[in-house]
Amino acid sequence: MNGGARERPPRLDPSVLPLPSRLLATCFGAGLAPFAPGTFGTAAALLPLAPLYAAPPALWPIVLALGAILATIASVRLSRRLPAKGEGGDPGWFVLDEAAGMWVAALAASPLEARRIVIAFVLFRVFDAWKPPPLRRLERVGAGFGIVLDDLGAGVYALALGTLFHRLIPLL
C-alpha cells in the first residue's frame, strides 16, 4: 500500500469470458470503449430497439420488459464467471447490466417519443453514476445479482422521475 491508499484490484480482462459471452457482456463491444463504457453500453442498448419504430407502439413496453428480464438473467449468469466484486468482479467493460437498466428506464416512453427516450437515457446515466440509496447497497448483493440490481434500481428511479416530469410538464 502507498501512503494508506487502498490498493485497487487488477483490471479484469474481458478475455476471462468465452467470445459469445464476452460479446453479450460488452453489448457487442460497446463496453470496450476507452472512456465512459457504461454510457456507450447504455447507448448500444437502444440500437436493437430500432425495428420497434415500425411496430405498433403497444409492443414497446412488452419488448423492453422482456429485454430487461433476459438481460438481467444473462448478467447474473455471466457475472458468476467473474471474480467477486472486491477482486475486480464488476469491470467497466461489463455493460449488459446497463442495457437492462436502460430498458426499464424507457418503459413508459414509446418509439415515437424520442425526447422521452433521451430523458430516460440521461436520468438513467445520472442515477447509475450517482447510486442514491439503496442502489449502492444493491451492488453488494451476492450470487451474481449485485452486478445488475443497482442498474435495475437506477432504471426504476429514472422511469419514475421521467414519468413524473412528463405528467407535470407534458412537453417532456
pLDDT at 54: 85
pLDDT band at residue 172 under the 50/70/90 scheme: low
pLDDT at 110: 85
pLDDT at 95: 97
57-105 residue pLDDT tens: 889 999 999 999 999 999 999 999 887 655 545 799 999 999 999 999 9
111-153 residue pLDDT tens: 888 899 999 999 999 999 999 999 989 988 887 898 999 999 9
Per DSSP, the residues of the chain read --TTPPPPPPPPPGGGS-HHHHHHHTTTTGGG-SS-HHHHHHHHTTGGGGGGGGS-TTHHHHHHHHHHHHHHHHHHHHHTTSPPGGGT-S-TT--HHHHHHHHHHTTTS-TT-HHHHHHHHHHHHHHHHH-TTTHHHHTT-TTTTHHHHHHHHHHHHHHHHHHHHHHHSTT-
